[in-house]
Amino acid sequence: MFWQLAISGMALGCVYALIALGFVLIFKATEVINFAQGEFMMLGAFVAFSLLNYGHLPFWMSVLLTLFIMAGFGAVLDRVVMRYLVGEPVFSMVMFTIGLSIFLRSVAGMIWSTDTYTLELPYGNAIVRIGTVVLSGGDLLVVGATALLVALLFLFFRFTDLGIAMQATSQNQFATYLMGINVERVFSITWALSALVAAVAGILLAPILFLHKDMGFIGLKAFPAAVLGGFGSVPGAIVGGLIIGVSENLAGGFLPLWVKDIFAYIVLIAVLVIRPEGIFGIEEKKKV
């Protein structure tokens, strides 16, 4: 029972981790906080769904095309509006992205109506047994895809010039600019990357949960994940997401079921009270 719940929680935790990763990337590079990350995820899932069902493309092709479309969407969004928000107070950015999420949600409702759809993953119905634990192929695929994506991102940040430029931008925009790096281009690429990660999260989440215009609300649960890991820490986002996913599922199994829905927020408030900088966060000193 315990392991069963823990492992199925891990699949959802991976999705939280990917969403949290998406806004940690943006936050680190541009200091914009994206409350619309969940809606990016929803858009990604719907685009993949449309390509698959209306475009009649094969699964892998539609996934790849979705990633391209969403990356383009992120870059265009940055170029058209988000860039003008850099340097604004936190409050404006939070409310702007909330406005964006409301807007995207209602536009999605106009395009895809308010029905609930299903998106099938290949091998989604396969069943794997390890001892007494029964795993669905879908859950394994989610965990595997997340691991692969995280590994690729690690290699990207560690070994490519662009990845290193992005790291530099997140540390000091002005110094990076002086080093001859096109900071504005880095911003656009960060948004593209973040939208891409969100699209992956959406494609993975839709089969486990559902495909609906309101599925972006799940994205709000990634905030506790990011805070738990230490906001602004990439490994923190992943660990935080996994912890939230697993503990939430366990809470749903062993405590009354309604606790499951708010468990992430209870953890969040506990973390903020005990250790606001999170697991991997560095305590930063106040400057005058």
User: Are residues 179 and 168 in contact, defined by beta-carbon separation less than 8 angstroms?
Assistant: yes
Alpha-carbon distance 60 to 52, whole Å? 9
- Residues touching another protein: how many (CB under 8 A)? 54
Q: Would you count residue 107 as binding another protein (CB under 8 A)? A: yes
Q: Would you count residue 80 as binding another protein (CB under 8 A)? A: no
Please report, to the nearest 10 degrees, the dihedral formed by the alpha carbons of residues 114, 199, 96, 75 taken in order.
-130
Region of 120-128, 130-138, 195-203, 261-269 interacting with another protein (CB under 8 A): 261-269
What is the separation, in whole angstroms, between the first and last Cα of the chain?
A: 53
Count of helices and strands (H, E) across the chain: 11, 2
User: 137: part of which helix (H) or strand (E)?
Assistant: helix 137-159
Q: Would you count residue 96 as binding another protein (CB under 8 A)? A: yes
Q: How far is the CB of 150 from another protein (least distance, A)?
A: 23
Region of 9-17, 124-132, 221-229, 245-253 interacting with another protein (CB under 8 A): 221-229
Binds another protein (CB under 8 A): choice among 76, 140, 250, 266 = 266
Alpha-carbon distance 284 to 282, whole Å? 6
Determine the length of the chain.
Answer: 288
Q: Would you count residue 46 as binding another protein (CB under 8 A)? A: no
| Mask for 157-186, x = binds another protein (CB under 8 A) | ---------------xxx------------
Binds another protein (CB under 8 A): choice among 6, 94, 140, 209 = 94
User: Are residues 267 and 44 in contact, defined by beta-carbon separation less than 8 angstroms?
Assistant: no
Neighbours of 34 (CB within 10 A): 30
Neighbours of 223 (CB within 10 A): 23
Region of 14-22, 42-50, 234-242, 272-280 interacting with another protein (CB under 8 A): 272-280
Residues 113-132 that bind another protein (CB under 8 A): 113-114
Binds another protein (CB under 8 A): choice among 89, 132, 159, 180 = 89
Nearer to another protein, 109 or 163 (CB): 109
Binds another protein (CB under 8 A): choice among 11, 29, 33, 193 = 33
| 78 Cβ neighbours under 8 A, 6+ residues apart | 187, 188, 190, 191, 192
Contact set with another protein (CB under 8 A): 31, 33, 81, 84-92, 94-96, 98-107, 109-110, 113-114, 172-174, 220, 223-224, 227, 231-232, 258, 261-262, 264-266, 268-269, 272-273, 276, 284-288
